[in-house]
Structure 1
Amino acid sequence: MIGMLHKMGLSSNVMYGLGFASIGAAIASWSMSMNAEPDGIARADRWGIFVGEWAPTFFALGCAMRLEEQWGPVSARERMRETAERAREAMPVGG
């Protein structure tokens, strides 16, 4: 899925930007809903929370896409193997 988003032209910076925009949208929707809805603050809180839940998703996608940009389309197993090899190389030799 991450590779497909990358092929569509999206980048990690776009995802991070959408995460920050959704925080602003959550505040804006809460504020507008509180003033416009007859149900008052309970409905406004639900709108703010609903939109606010998008931010972590966009930030997580941004992190995944950043890894895709840095490592390329490499499987998770290959990444773990490379990380383990680097850790072994960094260990001091001797007794």
Structure 2
Amino acid sequence: MLVGQVLHRSGVRSTHLQLASLGSVALCIGFWARAKGYDQDERGNAERRALFVGLWPPMFWLMGQSVEAYER
């Protein structure tokens, strides 16, 4: 069974995933901006957290495209 079908049947729509993608971009920018306020010892961990969250938008966007293809 395709991912789009499973997500669509569970109530997730393509708009939800595309908004999650945009929200994770904003979260990444927020984490990165907050990292500037930490001292040098803690900044590396905060920047790694921002980079980790920065990997999410393409995943959410592609999942949204999969659901959108199924919705058509």
TM-score by length of 2: 0.82
Say which structure, 1 or 2, has more relative contact order (CA 8 Å, 6+ apart). 2
Runs of 4 or more above 6 Å deviation: none
Runs (5+) with no aligned partner, structure 2: none
Larger radius of gyration: 1
Which region of structure 1 is more displaced relative to structure 2, 55-64 or 31-40?
A: 31-40
The reply on whether 1:49 has 2:51 as its aligned counterpart is yes
Query: Cα RMSD (Å) of the superposition?
Result: 1.7
Partners of 1:42 and 1:55 lie apart in 2 by 22
Q: Is the 8 A contact 2:4 2:69 kept in 1?
A: no
Count of matched residue pairs: 70
Q: Could you say which residue in structure 1 is the equivalent of 2:68?
A: 66
The equivalences for 1:1-95 within 5 A come to: 1-36=3-38, 39-70=41-72
TM-score by length of 1: 0.64
Once the two structures are aligned, what percentage of the paired residues are identical?
26
